[in-house]
Structure 1
Amino acid sequence: MPVNGINHINIEVSAEQLPKVRAFYEEILGLKPGFRAKSKRDGAWLYAGNTPVIHLSVTEEWMNNADKIHCNHVAFACSEVKAFKDHLDKHNIQYAFEQRSLADCEMTQFFLHDPVGIKIELNFAGETLT
């Protein structure tokens, strides 16, 4: 009964936030909109390849301000680190990055935030900027 990986991350947003958050994941991270199961709430499913990795769900039922972000961070396995860095720079996305030497590989990591404040971690295993 093993866990085989992450199926999706669900991010709850207000109706007002939905277009901006959706645009970020599509335009900045390159995810593609696709099929979304029937739901009573508005939202979107955004795909990496054939997998709907981000589910955006509209809710207006916030308990309090602390409940407005329901996720600490999302990490993505990525490739083509230089092209991705150029893309972030072109769109004036603020980020921090680290180049790390792990036991089995070199890795570059970028850290940025989506429009509602969720930290996004982009992992480029085996790639460096130098």
Structure 2
Amino acid sequence: MGTDEITVVDEVVRSRSSAVTAFSADNVMKRTRDLPELSLNHVSFLCKSVKKSVQFYQQVLGFGLIKRPSSFDFEGAWLFNHGVGIHLLEVEKIGKNEKKGRINPKDNHISFQCTDMDLIVHKLDQMGIEYVKGVVREGGIDVDQIFFHDPDGYMIEICNCHILPLLPLSSSSSSSCPLITRNISNPKIALTTTSSSSSSSSSFYGSMHCSGEVEALMMENLALDMINISI
């Protein structure tokens, strides 16, 4: 190989190496430092009766009462479970949030992931709570949904949405690599298996990567190939 050819290869390798560096884990993490770490703390609802609402969230969704600041001079309650809080504020009139006669899955709602949909249905039937079922089909995966109202007409959804993979639309939208599917029974453990209803997708769940990570690997392999050519 001549000197000119070696120079060209060296320039290509340097260019590819720069691209690999741009997509390295350290650089991906640096981009996320522009924003503070965020997580959902609580949702807050106005309600006509704190007592009735507390009873609903305790019996239907398993929330527990926690202490709220003693400086509050208005009726309310704080509940917590499933990694999120619910804050209730009692008011005489709810206005537009009055309970609706028809359950509309497209309405504003709060959604909870669930590992046993049949158990939720049984609980709602026992308590005489009206609900609507739905199914979302995507890529051979069926996501089950249950919609119902709380005592003040706020929409609640229960679903097994955790079986649906979270896929970034572009490398720029996944620069912080946040889309990691977790086992909802233990958020610290990454999900490595899937629902038996979608055996064909089990390998996909186990090998899912952020697009930036994949691009970095591709660029690194290309750079190594160019180095081998120059030898």
CA 1:57/1:2 → structure 2, altered by over 3 Å: closer, same or farther? same
Answer whether contact 2:115 2:160 (CA < 8 A) is retained: yes
Answer whether contact 1:41 1:59 (CA < 8 A) is retained: no
Name the counterpart of 1:45.
Answer: 78
CA 1:31/1:102 → structure 2, altered by over 3 Å: closer, same or farther? farther
Answer whether contact 2:111 2:157 (CA < 8 A) is retained: yes
Q: Alignment length, in residue pairs?
A: 123
TM-superposed CA distance for 1:118, in Å, is 0.8
Give runs of aligned pairs for residues 60-71 of structure 1, distance below 5 A: 60=92, 65-66=95-96
TM-superposed CA distance for 1:37, in Å, is 2.4
Answer whether contact 1:45 1:52 (CA < 8 A) is retained: no
Task: Give me the identity figure in percent.
Answer: 27
Answer whether contact 2:137 2:143 (CA < 8 A) is retained: yes
For the pair shown, the structure with the greater C-alpha radius of gyration is 2
Which residue of 124, 131, 144 maps to 1:88? 124
DSSP-derived class of the 1:37 partner: coil
Q: For 1:76 and 1:65, how far apart are their aligned partners in 2?
A: 25
CA 1:124/1:41 → structure 2, altered by over 3 Å: closer, same or farther? same
Q: Which segments of 5 or more consecutive residues in structure 2 lack a partner in the other structure?
A: 1-34, 100-106, 164-194, 197-231
1:31 equivalent in alignment to 2:67 = no
CA 1:41/1:52 → structure 2, altered by over 3 Å: closer, same or farther? farther
Q: For 2:152 and 2:120, how far apart are their aligned partners in 1?
A: 21
Which residue of 104, 112, 128 maps to 2:148? 112
CA 1:58/1:104 → structure 2, altered by over 3 Å: closer, same or farther? farther
**Which structure shows the higher helix fraction?**
2
Answer whether contact 1:31 1:48 (CA < 8 A) is retained: yes
Which residue of 5, 10, 13 maps to 2:47? 13
Name the counterpart of 2:113.
Answer: 77
TM-superposed CA distance for 1:54, in Å, is 0.8
Aligned-pair Cα RMSD in Å: 2.9
Q: For 1:27 and 1:120, how far apart are their aligned partners in 2?
A: 14
**Which structure shows the higher strand fraction?**
1
Name the counterpart of 1:121.
Answer: 157
Q: Which segments of 5 or more consecutive residues in structure 1 lack a partner in the other structure?
A: none
Q: For 2:97 and 2:144, how far apart are their aligned partners in 1?
A: 31
CA 1:5/1:92 → structure 2, altered by over 3 Å: closer, same or farther? same
TM-superposed CA distance for 1:103, in Å, is 4.4
TM-score with structure 2 setting the length: 0.46
TM-score with structure 1 setting the length: 0.77
Paired letter, 1:12: L
